[in-house]
Every structure is written in structure tokens, then in C-alpha cells.
Amino acid sequence: MSYESTAQPIKVGYLMDFKLPDFFPETMRDDLTRPFEMVFADARERGIIDRPVEMVYREVEGLPKGSVKAVIDAYGELVDEGCLVVFGPNITDNAVPTKEAIEERFKVPGISVTGTDDWLGEWTFAFPQGSMTDEPIFWADLLAKAGHREVGVIIEKSLVGESYLKNFQKACRSKGIRITAEVSIAQTAQDVGGAVQTLHEAKVDAIVHCGFGFGIVFVNPALEALGWDPPRYTSTAFQNAWVNPVMWNALLGWTGIDQYDEHNRVGQAFLDLYQEKLGRRPEYCVPVVNRDVATTLLQAFTDSHPLSPRGVKEALERVKMLPAASGAPGTRVSFGKWTRRAWMGAGYLVARRLDPDGVTTHLVDRFGEE
């Protein structure tokens, strides 16, 4: 091939801000980057884009177990490697301080699945896998529909936990639900027996967990020790069950917030292709969410003039109403000059329950369906 026919790849950073455990299945590791590779390769084959796209992966231990510095340093390394955009960091406690570094030092757009609005800014866009403001409203809806009028809350001592709690208190007032007990726990897996005992003594109708998820690893055993099996709800911490067998066991019997809806035709069509190419069908949130991010980036790359960090940022602002693979049917992806949250429509979140049999999950409700 001649000199005139070749071009360097567009580089996309993928910043995973927690270390995946050694027991993390290789197939699920593949699910992190494979949707991007599939979308970009297909576009190249069809002539939609005139150069390859290369994923540059970094994995560091940010909060809650590591440090913010490790995350910011990794973002800087991806920028230095020539990435035009970075997917991550995704944990709220890392994303918010990293945003400052992006705005002050890096000026390379970042896309995150964090649920906090504090991430949003000139250079920072979100595909929120949940929301500190939306999820508490959904919890209150679910509790009211189930007839619960008194609830106990478990709060992880973190920005995530406190943000959820503040908005849940407001949502409960609007639904006439009384929070009769609040207990704080660590961000990481610690003894929670005393906290669960407090909720039991308060005789609450149901339990709601506010946090990233690691803090509730020992809640189910504590409930079992008390012979107590109350209805229990959590955030998009529920999505941790898909990628961590410890969290899978911790969330048995819980109803949580998710983004996989088997009735979304766009998502099912993508999984059809996934199965055709890889011989398996990963029916959970990560592949369809990452497919939405990849499709959005593809549109931005084809509309970026010049192909630079600022050009990509401005092209992202022109992405409008792309059909989404994640969320309920009808969910769309749109950005704008002052719109930094991607998924449009209440149905970008759904509620699913992980049944005590340890095998089955099922759709419980869709946000916005009355």
C-alpha cells in the first residue's frame, strides 16, 4: 500500500479505575473492550471511517481501595500516548477530582459512566450507569409500589453514599415514605453486624443501600444470622454482581438498578452479532453500555474537524438521538453544547432482581412506567 493510502490509528484511552481481581473471568475482561473493537472494525470495513481505531487500556487502583493520584496519573499517561478521548474514570470518588485535572491540565475529553452530575463539564461527558439524583427517585417509586411506608438505610461512608442519601431523603418525602433508621458502614467489606442489628431493631419494612457496593458484602450473612429476610434495594452497585462472584453472592435476593433490558431490540441485535462472532451471548449491562459509548465515539470521529481533542469534544456535542442498545426500548443517546448526559428518556434505568436461587435475574420494573 502506498504512503498516500495509510494513516495512523485514532487512539482511545480506556481507564479502568479499579484493579480487576485475579479470579475475574477472561470472557468478561474481553467484554470490556470487545464492543469497541467490533463497532470500530465494522465501520472501517464499511468505509464509514478511513483509519483504524486503537484502544489503549490502563488499569489502576483508584478509590475506594487505592488513590485518586493513581487515576489522575493514568489519565495523563493516556494523554501523553496521543489518545483523543478517554473512557473513564468511572467511580465517582475518582471521577470528580480527575475532572479538575482534565480541565486545568489535560484538556482531552473524558467519558465516564459515573452517576454524579459533578463530573459534567466542558471536557467531561457521561453515560451515567445510574445517577445519584435519578436512582433515589426510582427507589422511592419501587418502595411505594410495593406498599412500604417505613425504610431503613445503609450508607457507605463516601461521596457516593452521602450523595445517594441526600437525594433519597428528598424522594421519600415526596412519596410519603419515612426513613426510620440510618446506619453508616465502611466503603469496603467490613463487619456490618451491628448496623444490620440496628435496622432489625427498628422493625423497618425494607432496606435501601446507598453506595458503590463493596460495603454490603457481609449484609446477607448478617441478615441470615438474625433469621431476617426483608425486601432490600440497592443502586447500580447491582451491576457489580455481573463482574465479581463475591458481589454476586452478596446481592442474592436484592433488587437493584441496571441497564440491561432484554426487550431492547437494538441491544438484542448487537448481542446477535456478538454471538455470531464470538460464540457466546453476554446478557448483561457491560457489552450493551460499551457498544453505546463506541457508537457515539464513532459518530464523533467521523464528524471531527480537525481530528484533535477539541475537535472530538465539539463533535460529541453534535451527536443526536442515536438509538441505544442499553436501557429500555426507545432509549436514545444525545449530547449538546450544554448537554453532557448521554442517555435520554426515563427508561435508561431498569430494576432487576437477583433471585435467591443464585442463577436467575428478572426485570422488576422500568423507571417512568406508572
Buried b (16+ CB within 10 A) or exposed e, 63-77: bbeeebebbbebbbe
- Residue 370: which pLDDT band, with cuts at 50, 70 and 90? low
pLDDT tens for 123-165 read 999 999 888 899 999 999 999 999 999 999 999 998 889 999 9
User: What is the structure's pLDDT at 214?
Assistant: 81
For 3-14, write each residue's pLDDT tens digit: 455 789 999 999
d(CA 239, CA 256): 8
Residues 6 or more apart in contact with residue 287 via CB below 8 angstroms: 31, 34, 35, 270, 271, 274
Which tens digits make up the pLDDT trace of 58-82?
A: 999 999 889 999 999 999 999 999 9
Structural domain boundaries in the chain: 3-130+264-345, 134-261+350-366
Q: Please tell me the predicted confidence (pLDDT) of residue 7.
A: 83
H helix or E strand, kind and range, residue 232: strand 232-233
> Same CATH fold, 134-261+350-366 and 3-130+264-345?
yes
> What is the distance between the alpha carbons of residues 48 and 295, in angstroms, rounded to a whole number?
12
Q: Any idea which architecture 134-261+350-366 has in CATH?
A: 3-Layer(aba) Sandwich (3.40)
Class of domain 3-130+264-345: alpha beta
Nearest to 260 by CA among 252, 274, 271, 276: 271
Question: 151-207, pLDDT tens digit by residue?
Answer: 999 999 988 899 999 999 999 999 999 999 999 999 887 889 999 999 999 999 999
User: How many secondary structure helices (H) and strands (E) does the chain include?
Assistant: 11, 15
Amino acid present at 161 = G
CB 261 within 8 A of CB 267: yes
Q: Is the pLDDT of residue 317 over 90?
A: yes
Give the pTM: 0.88
The pLDDT value given to residue 239: 84
Taking alpha carbons only, the member of 94, 230, 232, 216 closest to residue 156 is 216
Residue type, 339: T
Contact 102, 123 (CB under 8 A): yes
